[in-house]
């Protein structure tokens, strides 16, 4: 469990990165999968829409053509019903004037290159042609089917396509001039319309590569063909056109249906690319007169669809890209956040561990201190009880002897020895009590110095004098030598405590020196020799005794360390604490010549100049 | 018959005092301040009681107790100590020697003469171990 957590913990960056990659890959896979499924549907649907629109527009074009042709017819009807023609006037200036007006009016509607009037025998009596068109005045038109039909039915007639001498394919509209009162046929007024320029108004008949228009008449003659100009005037079902379309059965079927009045659409390819063709019929007076086909190369449709799809894809792609970027940013933020939190937790944990460690350490110190305290009490108790034994024992013994008047038994010498022992142990007890009180003060940190300014040589001399006197009394073979420093040494210290320090050290030296000397010297430190910033005095106490036991030396200044039969083992401990309280140091070493040992302690000194100022 | 006592304590003032007290009360006393010397000059089947200090340099009371016990298995030995009586540490120290000792055999310093004599008499008159 912990292992797993550690694993994820350590690999969180990699896992984050992998997550991002997985999210990106799966997003894109899903996106492309969905895209492929829907793309075909969208294509089909757009194509269907396109086809429907084309059917509608084909229908609209046919209606447009139909309405234009109707307008043309009504203009011609107006000419036929005009008073001039009704009066039988079929040419002349007045006719010319009217016809010029009408010609331009007609040409406003659509492209007409000839307007003519024929008499009742079909002879052209008047004619206006547009520039570059041949005139046919006095030509007999009776060979034209539409002329015959108009004459026979007395109804206006739209012709199928026909070719003139100039090989331009035309259709014609003929309106009979019928006397409004007698109903007598008086002639025909008609227009000829070049099919290509006429139908080009409604659709592309030039460019085969884009959507184009095809117009067919009732007989199947092609009046306008965007696919190829050479096909104009040819019959759709004829060899020429069929060769062109490679006898495509779908197109053939579609066109047959169209001519039978059935509109529709088809998709086919006769070798020049897939095409979508929609049909419509141009009705005049309820009859289908012309048939139109709108042909679109499907590539143009698909390119449009692809454009739409591409735009759609681009939108989706940006959307997904945006989402991925947002998620990635979020994950990065989360990883960053996690990392920050993690560091914070680590920091806190470390702090906690540190503080736990400190507490444990403090606890350990307390335990050690507690143990030391117990030990101190045990040792102190032992040390205190020991001198009491001779005091109680000997005083009781003396008392008993005095009480029993057994004085004969008590020699003078014994009495003296008893009293010496009693006094010695009483002093020992006193010294012990003082030392233990000092130690207790030091350890409970209520130890205070009563400092004053004094001259160190004087104090040392006093202590030495006291010791010399005591030595004389004991008949000791030890000589104490002290040569005071030539200059005065002022210290700001506790005189009593310092006396105690020197006494204790001398005491100690004396204890281990049976014969020889104890030499006390002082020296002022200096920068060059001692590398000491502040001036200090070093007090040196050298003896010729037995030296310090190597086992004792490292713990010489700790409590209850002693090799002597007398002494508490507290003296040097107290000495060290007093020196340290003065800001000094104390140490000891065995002399290099192997005889005796030397104690050193330092004290900060007060410069003479400062003393002068101080005294004002 | 005069009872013989061997007294061993590193403090000369103690041996001096206790020796005089015991002799004043009719005992015959040999005393040593050095445990090694005491062991070297030990007289087997001579003493009625050996009194040992515990805290001594060179050889402590427990070691001396064992050594004397080896030399003279019949002799009675008691401890005479300024250490608090019968502490856990002393019991433990004795247990490591494989000994259990009756509290009677512990005499604490300082002690009044009357009490000391009573205790010593009691120990000497006790049946042999």
Q: Is position A598 within any domain?
A: yes
The residue among A53, A198, A239, A16 whose CA lies nearest residue A111 is: A198
Question: Which domain, by its residues, includes A550?
Answer: 448-615
By mean pLDDT, which of A229-233, A383-387, A408-412 is the weakest? A408-412
- Shortest distance, CA B45 to any CA of chain A (angstroms): 29
Do A481 and A410 share a domain, yes or no? Answer: no
pLDDT digits (tens, 9 = 90+) for A65-89: 999 999 999 999 999 999 888 988 8
Do A373 and A482 share a domain, yes or no? Answer: no
CA dihedral over A437, A438, A443, A444, signed as positive or negative? positive
Do A463 and A585 share a domain, yes or no? Answer: yes
The bridge status of strand A515-524 relative to strand A586-590 is: unpaired
Which residue from B minimizes the CA distance to A414?
B20
Cross-chain Cβ contact A393/B24 below 8 Å:
no
By mean pLDDT, which of A135-149, B31-45, B67-81 is the weakest? A135-149
Cross-chain Cβ contact B16/A565 below 8 Å:
no
Q: What are phi and psi of A520, to 5 degrees?
A: -115, 125
Do A393 and A500 share a domain, yes or no? Answer: no
* Chain B residues 23-62 with a CB less than 8 Å from chain A: 24, 55, 57
DSSP characters for A457-516? HHHHHHHHHHHHHHHHHHT-EEEEEE---SS--EEEE-HHHHHHHHHHHHHHHHHH-SEE
Chain A partners within 8 Å of B109 (Cβ): 385-386, 388-389
Last residue within a domain, chosen from A402, A437, A472 = A437
Would you say residue A188 has pLDDT above 90?
yes
Task: Kindly give the interhelix angle for A12-80 and A93-109, rounded to the nearest 10 degrees.
Answer: 170
The residue among A226, A219, A212, A230 whose CA lies nearest residue A255 is: A219
Q: What tokens does A548 get?
A: 């310090």
Mean pLDDT of A582-595: 91
Which residue from B minimizes the CA distance to A567?
B11
Chain A partners within 8 Å of B24 (Cβ): 397, 400-401
Cross-chain Cβ contact B82/A400 below 8 Å:
no
Do A420 and A529 share a domain, yes or no? Answer: no
Burial A454-466 (b: 16+ CB within 10 A, else e): bebbebbeebbee
Spell out the residues 6+ positions from residue A405 whose beta carbon is closer than 8 angstroms to its own. Answer: none
How big is the CA angle at A373 (ends A370 and A374), to the nearest 5 degrees?
A: 90
Confidence class for position A497, pLDDT limits 50, 70, 90: very high
pLDDT digits (tens, 9 = 90+) for A267-314: 999 888 899 999 999 998 888 999 999 999 988 888 888 888 888 888
pLDDT number for residue A564: 58
Judge whether A599 and A502 are in contact, CB under 8 Å. Answer: no
The shortest CB-CB distance from B113 to any of A386, A396, A417 is to A396
Do A471 and A432 share a domain, yes or no? Answer: no
Judge whether A568 and A430 are in contact, CB under 8 Å. Answer: no
Return the percentage of chain B with pLDDT > 70, whole number. Answer: 90
pLDDT digits (tens, 9 = 90+) for A135-178: 777 888 888 889 999 999 999 999 999 988 888 899 999 999 99
pLDDT number for residue A614: 46
Cross-chain Cβ contact B13/A400 below 8 Å:
no
CATH of the domain at B24: 3.40.50.2300
CATH of the domain at A122: 3.30.450.20
Chain A partners within 8 Å of B83 (Cβ): 378, 381-382
The bridge status of strand A169-178 relative to strand A212-217 is: unpaired
The shortest CB-CB distance from A382 to any of B14, B82, B111 is to B82
Which residue from B minimizes the CA distance to A401?
B24
- Biggest CA–CA distance in chain B, Å, is 38
A169 bridge partner residues = A163
H/E element, A527: helix A527-530
Q: Is position A286 within any domain?
A: no
- Number of domains composing chain A: 3
Q: How far is Cα A251 from Cα A257, in angstroms, rounded to an integer?
A: 10
> Cα separations (Å) of B11 from A134, A135, A386, B14, B63?
167, 170, 8, 5, 18
The shortest CB-CB distance from B113 to any of A381, A397, A565 is to A397
Do A415 and A461 share a domain, yes or no? Answer: no
Q: What tokens does A418 get?
A: 């008893």
Q: Is position A56 within any domain?
A: no
Chain A interface includes B84 (CB < 8 A):
yes
Mean pLDDT of A185-210: 88
Would you say residue A392 has pLDDT above 90?
yes
Chain A interface includes B10 (CB < 8 A):
yes
Cross-chain Cβ contact B14/A394 below 8 Å:
no
Q: Is position A442 within any domain?
A: no
Say which DSSP state B122 is in: H
Residue A212: Cβ within 10 Å count: 22
Question: Which domain, by its residues, includes B102?
Answer: 4-125
Residue with the bigger pLDDT between A420 and A568: it is: A420
Chain A partners within 8 Å of B27 (Cβ): none
B77 bridge partner residues = B50
Chain B partners within 8 Å of A421 (Cβ): 13, 16-17
Mean pLDDT of A432-436: 88
Q: How far is Cα A221 from Cα A229, in angstroms, rounded to an integer?
A: 13
* Lookup result for tokens 């087997």: B44
Chain A interface includes B115 (CB < 8 A):
no
Q: How far is Cα A279 from Cα A262, in angstroms, rounded to an integer?
A: 8
Long-range contacts of A123-128 (CB under 8 A, 24+ apart): A125/A90, A125/A91, A125/A187, A126/A90, A126/A91, A126/A95, A126/A96, A126/A99, A128/A99, A128/A100, A128/A103
Do A165 and A87 share a domain, yes or no? Answer: yes
Do A383 and A500 share a domain, yes or no? Answer: no
Mean pLDDT of A413-441: 89
Q: How far is Cα A211 from Cα A204, in angstroms, rounded to an integer?
A: 7
Cross-chain Cβ contact B17/A393 below 8 Å:
yes
Do A369 and A516 share a domain, yes or no? Answer: no
Which residue from B minimizes the CA distance to A421?
B13
The shortest CB-CB distance from B55 to any of A382, A391, A392 is to A382
Spell out the residues 6+ positions from residue A236 whose beta carbon is closer than 8 angstroms to its own. Answer: A216, A220, A221, A222, A242, A255
Q: Which of A380, A389, A569 to mutate to test the interface with B (most CBs of B within 10 A)?
A: A389
Cross-chain Cβ contact B13/A387 below 8 Å:
yes
CATH of the domain at A409: 1.10.287.130
Confidence class for position B129, pLDDT limits 50, 70, 90: very low
Chain A partners within 8 Å of B13 (Cβ): 387, 389-390, 421, 424-425
Q: How far is Cα B49 from Cα B124, in angstroms, rounded to an integer?
A: 7
Chain A partners within 8 Å of B18 (Cβ): 389, 393
Cross-chain Cβ contact A393/B12 below 8 Å:
no
pLDDT number for residue B88: 66
Q: Which of B35, B82, B93, B111 to mutate to test the interface with A (most CBs of A within 10 A)?
A: B82
pLDDT number for residue A511: 85
* Lookup result for tokens 């507690």: A370
Would you say residue A321 has pLDDT above 90?
no
Q: Is position A131 within any domain?
A: yes
Do A88 and A177 share a domain, yes or no? Answer: yes
Last residue within a domain, chosen from A198, A217, A247 = A198
Q: What tokens does A113 get?
A: 């290159």
- Shortest distance, CA A452 to any CA of chain B (angstroms): 41
Judge whether B70 and B97 are in contact, CB under 8 Å. Answer: no
Residue with the bigger pLDDT between A108 and A410: it is: A108
CATH of the domain at A516: 3.30.565.10
Q: How far is Cα A496 from Cα A452, in angstroms, rounded to an integer?
A: 10
* Lookup result for tokens 């107790």: B65
Cross-chain Cβ contact B18/A396 below 8 Å:
no
Residue A216: Cβ within 10 Å count: 23
Cross-chain Cβ contact B13/A421 below 8 Å:
yes
Last residue within a domain, chosen from A198, A227, A261 = A198
What does pLDDT average to over chain A? Answer: 86
Cross-chain Cβ contact B14/A389 below 8 Å:
yes
Confidence class for position A406, pLDDT limits 50, 70, 90: low
Judge whether B34 and B42 are in contact, CB under 8 Å. Answer: no
**What 3-state DSSP class applies to B102?**
coil
- Shortest distance, CA A433 to any CA of chain B (angstroms): 16
Mean pLDDT of A482-493: 87
The residue among A429, A425, A414 whose CA lies nearest residue B21 is: A414
* Lookup result for tokens 């009677």: B104
Q: Whole-prediction pTM value?
A: 0.51
* Lookup result for tokens 């529709």: A264
Cross-chain Cβ contact B11/A421 below 8 Å:
no
Cross-chain Cβ contact A565/B24 below 8 Å:
no
Which burial class, exposed, middle or buried, applies to A497 when counting CB atoms under 10 A from its CB (0-12, 13-18, 19+)?
buried
Q: Omega into B110 within 30° of 0, i.e. cis?
A: yes
Q: Which of B9, B13, B90, B107 to mutate to test the interface with A (most CBs of A within 10 A)?
A: B13
How large is the C-alpha radius of gyration of chain B? Answer: 13
**What 3-state DSSP class applies to A87?**
coil
Do A469 and A607 share a domain, yes or no? Answer: yes
Q: How far is Cα A604 from Cα A389, in angstroms, rounded to an integer?
A: 44
Confidence class for position A500, pLDDT limits 50, 70, 90: very high
> Cα separations (Å) of A139 from A100, A162, A167, A450?
20, 17, 18, 159
Spell out the residues 6+ positions from residue A86 whose beta carbon is closer than 8 angstroms to its own. Answer: A177, A179, A180, A186
Chain B partners within 8 Å of A397 (Cβ): 17, 20-21, 24, 113
- Shortest distance, CA A401 to any CA of chain B (angstroms): 9
Helix (H), strand (E), coil (C) string for A266-299: EEECCCCCCEEEEEEEEEECCEEEEEEEEEEEHH
Q: Is position A314 within any domain?
A: no
**What 3-state DSSP class applies to A161?**
coil
A340 bridge partner residues = none
- Shortest distance, CA B8 to any CA of chain A (angstroms): 14
- Number of domains composing chain B: 1
Where residue A286 falls (left for φ over 0; alpha for ψ -120 to 50; beta otherwise) is: left
């Amino acid at each position: 469990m912990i292992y797993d957590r550690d694993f994820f913990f350590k690999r969180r960056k990699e896992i984050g990165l992998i997550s991002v990659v997985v999210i990106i890959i799966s997003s894109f896979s899903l996106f492309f999968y969905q895209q492929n499924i829907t793309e075909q549907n969208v294509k089909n649907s757009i194509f269907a829409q396109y086809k429907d629109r084309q059917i509608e527009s084909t229908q609209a074009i046919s209606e447009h053509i139909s309405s234009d042709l109707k307008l043309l017819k009504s203009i011609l009807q107006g000419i036929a019903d005009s008073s001039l023609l009704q009066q039988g006037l079929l040419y002349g200036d007045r006719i010319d004037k009217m016809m010029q007006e009408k010609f331009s009016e007609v040409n406003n509607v659509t492209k007409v290159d000839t307007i003519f009037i024929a008499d009742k025998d079909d002879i052209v009596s008047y004619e206006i042609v547009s520039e570059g068109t041949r005139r046919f005045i006095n030509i007999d038109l009776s060979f034209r089917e539409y002329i015959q039909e108009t004459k026979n039915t007395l109804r206006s007639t739209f012709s199928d396509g026909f070719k003139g001498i100039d090989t331009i394919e035309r259709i014609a509209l003929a309106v009979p001039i019928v006397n409004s009162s007698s109903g007598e046929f008086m002639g025909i007024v008609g227009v000829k319309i070049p099919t290509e320029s006429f139908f080009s108004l409604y659709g592309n008949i030039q460019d085969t590569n884009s959507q184009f228009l095809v117009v067919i008449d009732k007989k199947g003659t092609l009046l306008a063909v965007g696919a190829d100009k050479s096909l104009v005037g040819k019959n759709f079902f004829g060899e020429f056109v069929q060769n062109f379309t490679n006898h495509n059965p779908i197109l053939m079927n579609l066109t047959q249906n169209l001519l039978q009045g059935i509109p529709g659409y088809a998709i086919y390819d006769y070798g020049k690319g897939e095409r979508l063709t929609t049909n419509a019929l141009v009705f005049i007076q309820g009859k289908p007169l012309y048939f139109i086909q709108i042909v679109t190369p499907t590539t143009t449709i698909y390119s449009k669809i692809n454009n739409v799809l591409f735009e759609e894809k681009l939108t989706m792609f940006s959307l997904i890209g945006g989402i991925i970027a947002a998620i990635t940013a979020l994950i990065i933020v989360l990883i960053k956040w996690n990392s920050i939190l993690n560091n914070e937790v680590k920091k806190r944990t470390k702090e906690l561990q540190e503080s736990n460690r400190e507490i444990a350490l403090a606890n350990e110190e307390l335990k050690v201190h507690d143990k030391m305290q117990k030990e101190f009490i045990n040792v102190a108790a032992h040390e205190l009880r020991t001198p009491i034994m001779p005091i109680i024992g000997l005083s009781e013994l003396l008392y008993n002897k005095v009480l029993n008047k057994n004085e004969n038994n008590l020699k003078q010498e014994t009495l003296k020895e008893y009293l010496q022992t009693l006094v010695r142990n009483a002093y020992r007890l006193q010294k012990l009590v003082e030392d233990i009180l000092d130690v207790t003060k030091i350890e409970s940190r209520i130890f205070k110095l009563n400092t004053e300014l004094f001259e160190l040589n004087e104090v040392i001399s006093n202590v030495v004098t006291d010791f010399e006197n005591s030595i004389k009394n004991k008949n000791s073979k030890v000589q104490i030598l002290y040569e005071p420093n030539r200059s005065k040494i002022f210290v700001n210290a506790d005189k009593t405590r310092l006396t105690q320090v020197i006494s204790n050290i001398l005491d100690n030296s004396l204890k281990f020196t049976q014969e020889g000397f104890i030499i006390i010297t002082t020296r002022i430190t200096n920068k060059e020799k001692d590398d000491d910033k502040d001036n200090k005095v070093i007090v040196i106490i050298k003896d010729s005794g037995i030296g310090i036991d190597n086992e004792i030396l490292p713990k010489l200044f700790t409590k209850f360390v002693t090799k002597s039969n007398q002494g508490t083992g507290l003296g040097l401990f107290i000495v060290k604490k007093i020196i340290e309280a003065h800001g000094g140091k104390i140490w000891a070493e065995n002399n290099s010549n192997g005889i005796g040992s030397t104690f050193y302690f330092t004290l900060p000194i007060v410069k003479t100049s400062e003393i002068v100022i101080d005294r004002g | 018959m005069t009872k013989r006592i061997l007294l061993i304590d590193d403090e000369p003032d103690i041996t001096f005092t206790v020796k005089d007290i015991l002799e004043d009360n009719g005992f015959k006393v040999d005393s040593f301040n050095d445990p090694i010397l005491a062991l070297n000059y030990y007289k087997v089947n001579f003493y009625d009681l050996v009194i040992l200090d515990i805290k001594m340099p060179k050889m402590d009371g427990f070691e001396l107790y064992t050594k004397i016990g080896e030399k003279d298995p019949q002799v009675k030995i008691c401890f005479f100590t300024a250490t608090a009586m019968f502490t856990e540490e002393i019991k433990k120290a004795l247990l490591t020697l494989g000994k259990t000792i009756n509290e009677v055999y512990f005499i604490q310093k300082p002690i009044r003469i009357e009490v000391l004599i009573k205790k010593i008499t009691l120990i000497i008159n006790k049946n042999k171990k």
